[in-house]
A = this chain, B = another copy of it.
Amino acid sequence: MAADGGFAAGHLRAFIERIERLEEEKRALGEDLKQVYAEAKSTGFTPKVMRQVVRLRKMDTAERQEQEALLRVYLDALGESVAAAAE
């Protein structure tokens, strides 16, 4: 692997740098997102609920319903817990 006299090393360096560049861009987008949520919050919206909205829009409807159905089954199975949860 090192027997190619540094040829591979140059490739490796190139890969690493591409990776680090991409990760930096990703990080920057994360900052932007944080910024948008902060801005929305200062406008009076609730980031936590906004995240829920985004998550729901992203989530496949069938999948979401399936999960809700399973949750209901579990709560039903717990009997009085359901009552406690719903009271």
* Interface residues, chain A, with chain B CB atoms under 8 Å away: 1-2, 6, 8-9, 11-13, 15-16, 18-20, 22-23, 25-26, 29-30, 32-33, 36-37, 39-40, 43-46, 48-50, 52-54, 56-58, 61, 67, 70-71, 73-81, 84-87
In angstroms, Cα B30 to Cα A46, docked, is 28
**Once the chains bind, are B26 and A29 in contact (CB under 8 Å)?**
yes
**Once the chains bind, are A20 and B54 in contact (CB under 8 Å)?**
yes
**Once the chains bind, are A50 and B87 in contact (CB under 8 Å)?**
no
**Number of this chain's copies in the complex:** 4
Measured between beta carbons, the chain B residues less than 8 angstroms from A26 are 26, 29-30, 33
Q: How far is the CB of A7 from chain B (nearest CB, A)?
A: 10
